Chain A
Amino acid sequence: MISEFAAKSVAAVYGLAWVVTLAYIAILNAKLGRLERQLDEIAGILERRAGDV
C-alpha cells in the first residue's frame, strides 16, 4: 500500500522538474520574440533607407 504522503511527495518532485523545464522553454520563447522584434526593426531601417535612395 502506497502512503498518500509519499505519493504526493514523489508527484511534487517529478512535477516540479517538468514545470522548471517548461518555464525554461517559455523564457527561450520570450527571447526568440525579442530577437524577432529586433530583426523587424533592422528590416524597417533598411527598407526606409532603400526608399530614400
Chain B
Amino acid sequence: MIGSRRPRPDGATVAALVAAVLMTAALAMIFFYVPTDVSEGYSQRIFYFHVPIALTTYTLFVWGAVNAARYLLRRDESLDLKSYVPMHLGVIFGSLTLVTGSIWANIAWGTWWFWGDTQLTTFLIIFLFYCAYFMLRFSVEPGERRATYSAVYALLGVGLIPLSVIGVRFAQSNDLIHPITFNSNGANMDHSMFLTFLVALAAMLSLAVTMYLVELRGKRIDERVRRIRRLVEEGV
C-alpha cells in the first residue's frame, strides 16, 4: 500500500542524533570525568573543545578541496556545491578556533594573541586565505567559470594545512609558546584525558557532518525552487 511505510531517516537526521549523543558524552566527560590538569589547572578543559574545533576546521577545508579536485576532474555541478559548503563551514569553525584559542591564550599566557608563534600565525593565514575564497567566488557570475576558479583556489589553499600542522614541529622553542600535544611519541596526556579528547573530537566532527548535510540540502532545495520559479514565470 502506498504511503503505509514510514520513511527511512535521512543522513542528516542520523548524523544529528549521533552528534547529540556524542556531545552529551563529551560534556559529561569534560566536566565530571577527566581530572584537572596539574600544571594548567581548570582552564585546561578548554583544550577538549578548542583542539577538536581546530581539527574539524582542517578536516572541512580538506573535504572542500577533495570535492574541488573531483569537480575539476568530472565537471559535475553538484561537486561545486559539495566543495563550497565545507569551505563555508570551515570558516565558521575557524572563527571559533581563533576566538576559543584567544580566550585560552589570555588565561594561559596572559595575552590574547602572540604574533611570534608559528602555529597561531599559520592558522590565521589559512583562515584569511579561505575568507578570501568567498570574495573570489561571489565576484564571478554563477556558472562553470565561477566553479572552476573556486575549485582551483580551494586546492591551492589546502597546501597550507600541512605547513600549519607539520611546520610547527620544525619551529624552534624560541618562537613557540603554543603547546604541542601530539608528537612522534603519541599523545602527551594521560589515558582519561586522551579518551575525553577523542570523544570530543568525534562529537565535533559529527556536528560538522550534520551541519554539512543540512546546509547542502538547503542549498539544493533553494536551487530547485529557483528553477521551478523560472519555469513557472516562463509559462512552461
A interface with B by C-beta (< 8 Å): 2-3, 5-7, 9-10, 12-14, 16-17, 20-21, 24, 28, 31-32, 35, 38-39, 41-42, 45-46
Contacts and interface: CB of A to CB of B under 8 A. Distances in A.
B42 A7 contact: yes
Tell me whether chain A's interface is mostly helix, strand or loop, or mixed.
helix
B100 interface: yes
A39 B41 contact: no
Contact of B106 (A3, A9, A10, A20): A9
Contacts of A39: 225
A8 to B, nearest CB: 9
26 contacts: A2-B41, A2-B42, A5-B43, A5-B107, A6-B107, A7-B42, A9-B43, A9-B106, A10-B46, A12-B103, A13-B46, A14-B49, A17-B49, A17-B96, A20-B92, A20-B95, A20-B96, A21-B207, A28-B214, A35-B225, A39-B225, A41-B229, A42-B225, A42-B228, A45-B233, A46-B232
Interface in B186-236: 207, 211, 214-215, 218, 221-222, 225-226, 228-229, 232-233
A6 B92 contact: no
A14 B215 CA distance: 23
Judged by DSSP, the binding face of B is helix
Given A24-B92, A38-B225, A41-B229, A17 B53 contact: yes
Q: Which 7 A-B pairs have the closest CB atoms?
A: A6-B43, A6-B42, A2-B42, A9-B107, A13-B100, A13-B46, A10-B45
